[in-house]
Amino acid sequence: MCGIVGVVGTTMVNQVIFDALTLLQHRGQDAAGMVTSHNGKLFLRKDNGAVSEVFRTRHMKKLCGTIGIGHARYPTAGTSSSAEAQPFYVNSPYGISLAHNGNLTNTKKLAQEVFEADLRHINTTSDSEVLLNVLAHELHAEGKLVPKPSDIFNSLERVYARIQGGYAVVSLITGYGILAFRDPDGIRPLIYGSRETADGTEYMVASESVALDAAGFKVERDINPGEAIFVDVNRNIHFKQCTPAKVARPCLFEYVYFARPDTVIDNISVYKARINMGEKLAEKIEEEWLNHDIDVVIPIPDTSRTAALQIAQRLNIPFREGLVKNRYIGRTFIMPGQTVRRKSVRQKLNPVPFEFKDKVVLLVDDSIVRGTTSKEIIEMAREAGAKKVYIASAAPEVRYPNVYGIDMPAAAELIAHGRTAEEICRLIGADKLIFQNLDDLINACIDEKHSNVREFDTSVFDGKYITGNIDAEYLENLEKARNDVQKSGSEPQQSSDMMQPF
């Protein structure tokens, strides 16, 4: 999962992109990058680390231009080497930079085509570089010295015909504008907005609406599934449905965990969806845990806080902040390597003994993936004096890998894969464990008043991959690529600065 942003402005856009990436930092902490354009020249800075670490004052001064794109990365099937930080760049045609959120599910086939038929070289293991070269090849095939928006959209129609998976993309075509597009199922989020200045209208596209809100951009709408938007250097905006429209089926896990609560995706408020998750889960607790003895509800910060508060209100039980989070430790779910995640849990969270001692505690988490965090926190709760420790998950059991851009790991690493809730409960050391029902989670996210979305990508819960091209061989290869042993291996770090190195 990554965060992307593109801006066409009337003044320097480096600070706007930096601020947007900071707001999207929760989507990826492995690496960050930005490319801007001024007078036909490109300026790129990217490296491993958080946004504030990658972009120092000396870098920002050199990122000049009124048009640019940015990326906040966390690794999926690739590595965490700085060589894979985005945006990627190719010089032909025009000079194209690209940043990508998601995952292409036919990367192996595409990479072979790019090399054998398109005669292009791929330098990393990233599917984003493959996608960039496919786009560059199709733009080159148009054969236009000065491409019109119609030429760009025509080439993109062929790109859609070649690529498969879940993706949201921003691309800077040097001297011409920014192109952004979304996968045909709308799995990965992409939204655009505008703001008026004294010198004219500026435009931004981003992964989440919060990036637009904070910068003073008016949210216009989500990019539709299979739709592309092109904003030229003169700030004229163009749209094209580049592949037949499908029913939007956004990733359900965006609402559960990844997106910020103040974000709206496909006209569905993430905050309201999480309130509904808590309400649905409280109803299940009332039905299945008759005469429960819960003394206090404690969220596992931060994502589960909204659902936990609703559970406490519905059950009429005190809500307490019993776990204090160190805000300078990243999200353990998206850290590369199981050893790093395990170590980080106790660095990230510390219990308040007063809230645990001699109490029956209901811990609420947004989901249970590997079980690492849950097991460590339950141990911490017992060490703090809890009499009993129950745990509730706002999401159902995560049983299957994600193939659309979330590093939901190999099946063997998922604690719920092939296990019952009772077995999971014993493994993590809880006294009781309850999961949300999938139908309840779906209904919690549906907003009939504001959104026409009625279906979601639920593959991590039910193993139904909506793009329809996922088989056992693909999942087996994915498992090999994602195993934690490979991810934790060391790689030579390469210089990641291009064009104007700094």
Q: Mean pLDDT, to the nearest integer, of 438-453? A: 97
Annotated binding site for Mg(2+): 303, 365-366
Tokens representing 8 are 């066409």
Structure tokens at 217: 């951009």
Closest CA to 441 of 423, 418, 421, 461: 461
User: Strands, E, within 385-496: which ranges?
Assistant: 388-393, 432-435
pLDDT in tens, 394-423: 999 999 999 999 877 688 889 999 999 999
Contact 52, 40 (CB under 8 A): no
Distance CA 329, CA 347 (A): 7
How many Å apart are CA 307 and CA 61, to the nearest integer? 43
Q: Please answer whether residues 342 and 371 qualify as being in contact, where contact means their C-beta atoms are separated by less than 8 angstroms.
A: no
Contacts of 68 (CB under 8 A, 6+ apart): 6, 7, 13, 14, 17, 34, 35, 36, 37, 172
Q: How many helices (H) and strands (E) does the chain have?
A: 18, 21
Q: What single-letter DSSP state applies at residue 217?
A: P
Query: Which is higher by pLDDT, 431 or 301?
Result: 431
Report the predicted TM-score, pTM, of the whole model to 2 decimal places.
0.92
| Tokens read off for 372 | 């690492």
Q: Poorest-confidence range of 86-95, 255-264, 270-279, 407-416?
A: 407-416
Three-state DSSP state, 470: coil
Average pLDDT, the chain: 92
> Tens digit of pLDDT for each residue in 353-390?
999 999 999 999 999 999 999 999 999 999 999 999 99
pLDDT of residue 75: 67
What pLDDT is recorded for position 483?
A: 65
pLDDT of residue 138: 98
Q: Would you list which residues are annotated within the binding site?
A: 303, 365-366
Is residue 393 within 8 Å of 436, Cβ to Cβ?
Answer: yes
**Percent of the chain having pLDDT more than 90?**
83
Active-site amino acid positions: 2
Taking CA atoms, 288 is separated from 50, 282, 285, 318, 436, in Å, by: 43, 10, 5, 20, 12
Backbone torsion region of residue 381, taken as left when φ is above 0, otherwise alpha when ψ lies between -120 and 50, otherwise beta: alpha
CA distance 448 to 451: 6
Tens-digit pLDDT profile for residues 76-119:
554 556 778 999 999 999 999 999 999 999 999 999 999 999 99
